[in-house]
């Protein structure tokens, strides 16, 4: 079984993917981390790299080919990325949602603890992060629609959707794990 985790900015995708990979003993692939590293290699922030991607499809295509290959050659792993569900259609597709305000609050807190995230420049306040997230969402929508005809925020694309706005990491993980375990059981029965 392959589990793809997508979702809104600050919804807890990385936290839950790590917890799930540890619980199941499966590898985890983090597409956002790869994109952040590619941006860093070009001397860009993630926001700048995403903006570049609006006119340069290579910024997305490289990681998308990587995802496809993983889905064709491996099994029993977690992959975290906004388009992973599309490039690995046989995956169990999870979408974690969160309000913009709560997502910005979480990311602002993370940035205060770890400035190496390479999120964007001049993110000194909660308001800066909130504005950056809204801009990032629009850039993501534009790129995915332009290159793939996708709306990654259309919840009909997913097998399991969870709003994490009012949940902590442990509560979110418990709900996601229960959904995954139910899927694993139903896959064994079929």
Q: What is the CATH number of the domain that holds 134?
A: 3.40.50.300
Please tell me the distance from the alpha carbon of residue 29 to that of residue 79, in angstroms, as a whole number. Answer: 5
Taking only the tens place, the pLDDT of each residue in 3-53 is: 999 999 999 999 999 999 999 999 999 988 887 888 888 888 877 887 888
Pair 136, 50: CB distance under 8 Å: yes
**pLDDT tier for residue 135 given thresholds of 50, 70 and 90:** confident
- Closest of 68, 83, 55, 85 to residue 146, by C-alpha: 55
Poorest-pLDDT segment among 46-50, 103-107, 124-128, 146-150: 46-50
Give me the domain span that covers residue 125.
2-167
Instruction: Report the distance separating Cα 181 and Cα 69, nearest Å.
Output: 26
Most confident residue range from 27-31, 105-109, 173-177, 183-187: 173-177
Asked if the structure places residue 190 within a domain, the reply is no
Q: Give a yes or no: residue 22 inside a domain.
A: yes
Helices 58-73/31-41 angle, 10° precision: 140
Half-sphere exposure of 130 (CA within 13 A, CB side): 8
* Most confident segment among 9-23, 113-127, 136-150, 176-190: 9-23
pLDDT at residue 151 is higher than 90: yes
Residue 117's Cβ-side half-sphere holds a number of Cα atoms within 13 Å equal to 18
Q: Give the pLDDT of residue 143.
A: 84
In a domain, 111, yes or no: yes
How many structural domains comprise the chain?
1
Residue 130 domain-assigned? yes
Cα 83–chain centre separation:
8
For residue 186, being part of any structural domain is answered with: no
Ramachandran angles phi, psi of 73, nearest 5°: -115, -10
Residue 120: pLDDT band by 50, 70, 90 thresholds? low
């Amino acid at each position: 079984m392959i589990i793809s985790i997508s979702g809104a900015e600050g919804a807890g995708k990385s936290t839950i993917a790590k917890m799930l990979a540890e619980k199941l003993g499966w590898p985890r692939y983090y597409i956002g981390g790869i994109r952040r590293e590619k941006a860093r290699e070009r001397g860009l922030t993630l926001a700048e790299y995403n903006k570049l991607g609006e006119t340069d499809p290579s910024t997305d295509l490289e990681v998308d080919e990587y995802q496809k290959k993983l889905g064709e050659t491996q099994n029993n792993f977690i992959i975290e990325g906004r388009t992973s569900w599309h490039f690995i259609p046989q995956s169990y597709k999870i979408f974690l949602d969160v309000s913009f305000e709560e997502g910005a609050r979480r990311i602002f807190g993370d940035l205060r603890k770890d400035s190496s995230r390479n999120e964007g420049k001049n993110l000194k306040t909660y308001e800066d992060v909130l504005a950056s997230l809204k801009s990032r969402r629009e850039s993501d929508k534009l790129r995915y629609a332009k290159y793939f005809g996708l709306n990654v925020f259309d919840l009909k694309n997913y097998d399991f959707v969870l709003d994490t706005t009012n949940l902590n990491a442990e509560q979110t993980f418990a709900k996601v794990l229960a959904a995954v375990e139910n899927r694993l059981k139903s896959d064994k029965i079929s």
